[in-house]
Amino acid sequence: MYKYPFLKIGNYNYFLIRGYCTLCSQTSFMWRCLLCFFLLPAFFSGMSYGQEHTHLKPGTDTAAINRLLDKGDKTQNPDSAIILFNRAFQLSADANYADGAFRALITKSMKFHEKADFAGERNCCSQALPWAERSGVKDAVAWCYNAFGGSYFSEGDYAQASTYYFKALDDLKKKNVSPTHTTANVYNNLGILNIRLGLQDKALAYFRQGEDVSRKWHLDYQLANSLNNIGEFYNGIHRPDSAIKYFNELMEIGKKLGKTDLVVVANEDIAESLIESGRYKEAIPLLQQAISLGRDHFPYLVVTSSCLLGQALCHVGKYKEAETILTEGLKETKTYNFKDIYEAFYTNLITVYRTTGQLQKALDYTDSLMEIRVALTNSESINAINQMEVKYKTAEKDKQLAQSELLIAQQKNKIINKNIWIAAIAGGVFLLFIILAGLYRNVQNKQRLQAEQIKSLQQENTIGLLKGIVQGEENERGRIASELHDGVGGMLSAIMMRLMSIRHEKEDITSVPSYEEAMQLLTEMGDEIRITAHNLMPEVLLKQSLPTAIRTYCNYLREHNTLEIDFQSYGSFDGLTKNEKLNIYRIIQELLKNTIQHANATHVLVQLVVNEQQLTITVEDNGKGFNTQDTKKGIGLHNLETRVLSMQGHFTVESEINKGTSVYIEFDPENDAS
């Protein structure tokens, strides 16, 4: 039975336009991103178009264009479908048919997505945007933004994905669009983005919103999307029986609509729930059927089903079959550049190789796994999200200011050109100006309120991103510490016991120098493993107070270095949560490690103070110092910044050459919702 430290949400929207995209899941055995498509005929047949903002050329046969688009929708081969969409777009553009041009480009982008050509997908979306603005489809612009977000997420760029999802949400709110397919898709996408970052409660709320909209407006494909997400949510919290209920409803929708992809997804989902319940033999035939049905048309479903099949085979002891399935699936994953599925294959292959004693291969895949996790959740993504948010808001404000200045200038020119001797007309113009100014102010206030609400949501999500990264790092530290202490440490103990048994059997072996040297090396190795495991996950925090734990760590450093450490603490630390204590411990640990490695200092002052609900950390050394203007941020400073920001605090660093360094950190524990 395997554990899920994070919630696992696999959103299999080969059957959904995914708004455009759905995101990925993460578990200790699998992160997967099953990228998504609607079967478009059902989508467009239920879609109503409004009056276009452009005029068709006389004699345009829009019915013929729509038939060509429908044919492309039903074409399974992506390259063949793209040819049809190109013809439909050319005819629509020549006829100034905005709805047809938009639909041709957006559906063409889906085919590029199916081919994993995400740059090509974004190119189609860029061409579709101006047609979307002229189209009679009110949510067309939001649809394009959502598609942009999907392409970036598929490449692992969560900063850009987040930016475009909020743009889609902003556009829907500004246009006051009634709930549609795109609305439901955006809710599902935001939910899966939060799952990817470990923010489960927010994710479930978004999934429920998507389900409510889909049921109310009878959106079968979006409902299937929400059912899949909610079912995966319950799998992630170890409630597979609840999950199967949602997956069975998903299967019913697939059979009712006659959609193979929905049936494939349901088979894989139910198999996943059976695996979670420990019913591995029952899961294997369902996964084999999913792979068989999806082989020719749905590469994402095939590789994720292969990953689950390999996992199930491991649990029934068929390691050779599991290795074959997993290695072939990993090749396909790399062929299609499905980056977010790498981790699932790496994790399962590590299990195979460790169980079968192929330790070097297990170690190689472990290194690859760590690189993938760091790449997907580093703090640069968070900084990029903040930068994009500032850029977007600044552009919006500049646009509003320009429009305001233009309107005022136009009104002044009208007033100057009026004949001043017509008092009644002048009075009427003045009154009209006052009314327009009032209306304009009301519009501005409404837009400002909406912008503030979205900004608040983005800030909250940014804090959540930081906390998710920090918590993910700590979970990984704990897992590695457990592996070192219980796994490698246990193996070393077994080896030493075996050697000691040999010494009892052959007492004269103690005279062999190599034997004694081996015993000494094994003893030293065991000590190093215990020290490393302690640094990764300090058990002293669970048994002692925070000041005592830090003092113990300082004493340890004092024994192994020439550095003199003066630790001082003031106030009561009982009100801190476990996560806050661990974060503070890690911050001081990082600062002292940097001092030892870089400062060449002989004395360090570490001060921890709680005063009137405010906690401060001060670390000063008498080392060589550095130029704060010229030094780039290293990994240590990035880690420190991430932890401090996740607790909604701030820090300053002061240093001069040959005058030492001082770091001051301040935050309010009550503001941290962790």
pLDDT tens profile 548-579: 888 888 888 887 778 899 999 988 888 888 88
Segment among 21-35, 286-300, 470-484, 651-665 with least mean pLDDT: 21-35
Q: What whole-number percentage of the chain has pLDDT above 90?
A: 20
Across 645-671, average pLDDT: 84
Please report, as a single letter, which amino acid is at residue 113: H
Q: pLDDT tens-digit profile of 377-435? A: 554 454 454 455 455 455 555 555 555 566 666 666 677 766 677 877 877 788 888 88
460 CA to centre of own chain: 15
The chain-wide mean pLDDT, for the chain, equals: 77
pLDDT at 36: 36
**Packed helices 578-594 and 423-482: angle between N→C axes, nearest 10 degrees:** 80
Segment among 65-79, 215-229, 259-273, 492-506 with least mean pLDDT: 492-506
Across 498-510, average pLDDT: 73
pLDDT at 651 over 60: yes
User: Would 393 be classed as within a structural domain?
Assistant: no
- pLDDT band, residue 24 (cuts 50/70/90): very low
- Choosing from 323, 358, 376, the residue where a domain stops is 376
pLDDT at 23: 30
pLDDT at 5 over 90: no
pLDDT at 607 over 90: yes
CA atoms within 13 A on the CB side of 490: 6
664 forms beta bridges with: 618, 652
Across 107-116, average pLDDT: 90
Q: Determine the structural domain holding residue 349 and report its residue range.
A: 13-47+137-376
Beta-strand relationship, 650-655 and 661-667? antiparallel
Across 508-529, average pLDDT: 75
The number of folded domains in the chain is 2
pLDDT at 595 over 50: yes
pLDDT at 88: 92
Q: List, in order, residues 6 or more apart from 21 with CB less than 8 Å away.
A: 13, 35, 36, 113, 146, 147, 149, 150, 151, 153, 154, 161, 189
- Of 308, 225, 310, the closest CA to residue 268 belongs to 308
E strand or H helix at 528, and its extent? helix 513-536
- Choosing from 376, 404, 432, the residue where a domain stops is 376
pLDDT at 107: 93
pLDDT at 468 over 50: yes
Q: Sheet of 614-621: strands edge to edge?
A: 564-570, 603-611, 614-621, 661-667, 650-655
Q: pLDDT tens-digit profile of 321-340? A: 988 989 988 888 888 877 76
pLDDT at 82: 94
- pLDDT band, residue 4 (cuts 50/70/90): very low
According to DSSP H, which parts of 135-238 are helical? 140-154, 158-174, 181-196, 200-216, 220-236
User: Would 220 be classed as within a structural domain?
Assistant: yes
Q: CATH number of the domain that 254 lies in?
A: 1.25.40.10
pLDDT at 134 over 60: yes
Task: With beta carbons less than 8 A apart as the criterion, state whether 577 and 586 touch.
Answer: no
pLDDT at 15 over 90: no
Segment among 166-175, 352-361, 504-513, 562-571 with least mean pLDDT: 504-513
pLDDT at 101: 93
Q: How far apart are CA 377 and CA 471, in angstroms?
A: 11
Q: CATH number of the domain that 627 lies in?
A: 3.30.565.10
Q: List, in order, residues 6 or more apart from 535 with CB less than 8 Å away.
A: 589
pTM above 0.85, yes or no: no
User: Would 304 be classed as within a structural domain?
Assistant: yes
pLDDT at 230: 92
pLDDT at 14: 32
- Choosing from 344, 376, 408, the residue where a domain stops is 376
More confident residue, 199 or 103: 103
More confident residue, 22 or 86: 86
